[in-house]
Copies of this chain bind each other. A is one copy, B any other.
């Protein structure tokens, strides 16, 4: 019953018609050989892989979960073989640098691949999803030696990776990290400490697992300014096991097939990545990649849930009609569709900015694109994960009682999707990052430039551009209000950061729906169903966008916030 139809037409519409990615590829020499037909072929193959290999493992993996046996983690039946098939097909290397064995394709296609992988098997994707961030971190911060030793195997997926940051006393606040790293005479480090919530800290998908561990060198300054990042492999170059142990795995609400490990490092051998005490900067390379990946997870869940709800509703008869024809259900279905299609546009835009940031020949363009991506990332992480969860719950409602039953599948999507609002920085941390650190900080001009760019879309759309223009005005006004208030009341931005992020998210969605509407208007490819796409985009502008008003209202109202009792 719970099936997946890879949204290839939707993807093609966004990539080719809304975002016009081929025009970008033409400007980037590295992508000289990429065109829409390559892209379509890649996405078709990816869609086939996810349906044939990953989807069949999703529900069984949820039921079976992971086991810790004699200090070794066993993943659900079929997970290791699926990883080997994924590696053999070259998927991990899709957007990696050909110098390190990658295929050098746009990140955009990697993101589209990630959407389908996550839609069909979030738990399995937990192993795959972290890889690109680890690759980027080692590439950016590893010594020549470490790069030579680890990059080809990370790019190919021969080895997987884990990101070891959180400790029991230190979650959102990394200042409390206590794991120690003692330099040895040979230039290596002896890493000792405990980490919790380490996704894929141990598993049986690959022989080696490359841990990136946040730790402190001796005499490091306190707080986050004293953190360093160490590369600590499960298997050392001489083939011996490193001194790290998975002490336990968590029993979670969802993603049961993903091993969430409690890790103990006891003088484990590692090597510094980047400068001493600059671990946070190195970590953020990985973290930003992971945050966009979380947005992609939200998109995958949302689309998976919404498309299944549409199919079920079209078949389920009540009151002498399919429930898809009843207004309340029709609206829920259109909400899901509009949200998924809008979110896809913005997520793919962010991916294109990363491609530009990494590969555009012009340095100024690279810098501007990187800056825009740094604004889009927290918005998409928070909003995308929230919509993935909300969309799953909405879809479950369409299934009614059948949705609450495990066999149907949508309740697993809901359970799996919920974690995305928490990990890789909670959604509240994203909101603070966006408003406090970036828009009120060093990225004020980037935001102004982004709004300027979006305003062009509004102006080009004529009457249809008015909702978007209103959002842009609202965002500018709200930011000015917050900035003004922050000077007198340092806590003020923190009180409204979540609403501010939500407001910006709806603004971006308004842009996405407006751009989709225009793209549908000029799209002559009838097989892409431009008329229906225009209707869905209008539904987003009419029915969903009004939610933004509440968020801007709360930002502007400068409400006080009482103390909590208990």
- Tell me the A residues contacting B by CB distance below 8 Å: 166, 169-173, 175-176, 196-197, 250-254, 307, 310-311, 313-314, 317-319, 324, 326-331, 333-334, 337, 389, 393, 396-397, 400-401, 403-407, 411, 414-415, 418-419, 421-423, 426-428, 431-432, 491, 494-495, 497-498, 529, 532, 535-536, 538-539, 542-543, 546-547, 549-550, 553-554, 557, 559-566
Q: Which residues of B contact A535 (CB under 8 A)?
A: 562-563
Tell me, rounded to whole Å, the shortest Cβ–Cβ distance linking A199 to chain B. Answer: 10
Contact of A543 among B314, B334, B536, B559 (CB under 8 A): B559
Known: A252-B406, A330-B564, A334-B561. A166 touches B313 (CB 8 A): no
Instruction: Please determine whether B396 and A418 come into contact, CB atoms closer than 8 angstroms.
Output: yes
Return chain B residues, CB-CB under 8 Å to A331. Answer: 495, 498, 561
Tell me the bound Cα distance from A536 to B562 in angstroms: 8
**Of B172, B393, B419, B564, which one neighbours A418 at CB under 8 angstroms?**
B393
Contacts of A333 in B (CB 8 A): 564
Closest chain-B Cβ to A86's Cβ sits at a distance in Å of: 26
Taking CB atoms, residues of chain B closer than 8 Å to A432 are 328
Question: Closest chain B residue to A491 by CB distance?
Answer: B327
Q: By DSSP majority rule, is chain A's interface helix, strand, loop, or mixed? A: helix
Closest to A536 in B: B562
Is the Cβ of B319 less than 8 Å from the Cβ of A172? yes
Task: Please tell me if the beta carbons of A251 and B406 are within 8 angstroms of each other in the complex.
Answer: yes
Stoichiometry (number of copies): 2
In the bound assembly, the distance between CA atoms of A67 and B397 in angstroms comes to: 26
Name the B residues within 8 Å of A414 (CB-CB).
Answer: 253, 418
Q: How far is the CA of A528 from the CA of B565 in the complex (A)?
A: 12
B326 with A494: CB separation less than 8 A: yes
Please list 17 pairs of residues, one from A and one from B, whose beta carbons are closer than 8 Å in the complex, sorted by A's number.
Answer: A173-B319, A252-B405, A253-B406, A310-B564, A310-B565, A311-B566, A327-B491, A329-B428, A330-B561, A397-B422, A404-B418, A411-B418, A529-B565, A535-B563, A536-B562, A546-B550, A549-B550
Give the distance to chain B from A144, nearest Cβ to Cβ, in Å: 36
Determine which of B172, B314, B318, B427 lies in contact with A172 in the assembled complex, contact meaning CB atoms within 8 Å. Answer: B318
Q: A542, B559: Cβ atoms under 8 Å?
A: yes
B389 touches A393 (CB 8 A): yes
Q: From A322, which residue of chain B is reached at the shortest CB distance?
A: B564
CA distance A497 to B327 in the complex (A): 9
Instruction: Give Cα A566 to B400, complex, Å.
Output: 20
Taking CB atoms, residues of chain B closer than 8 Å to A426 are: 397, 400
Contact of A328 among B171, B317, B494, B564 (CB under 8 A): B494
Please name the residue on chain B nearest to A323 by beta carbon: B172
Most buried by B among A253, A324, A415: A253
For A406, the chain B residues whose CB sits under 8 A away are: 250-253
Bound-complex Cα distance A422 to B397 (A): 7
B422–A253 touching, CB < 8 Å: no
CA distance A196 to B307 in the complex (A): 26
CB of A172 within 8 A of CB of B400, answer yes
A415-B319 CB under 8 A given contacts A328-B428, A562-B539, A566-B314: no
Collect the chain B residues with CB atoms within 8 Å of residue A173's CB: 318-319
Residues of the B chain whose Cβ atoms lie less than 8 Å from the Cβ of A197: 401
The 4 closest A-B pairs by CB, nearest first: A173-B318, A253-B411, A328-B428, A310-B566
Q: Which residues of the partner chain B approach A330 to less than 8 Å between Cβ atoms? A: 561-564
Contacts of A564 in B (CB 8 A): 310, 313-314, 324, 330, 333-334, 337
Whether A404 lies near B328 (C-beta < 8 A) is no
Residues of B within 8 A of A404 (CB): 250, 252-254, 418-419, 422
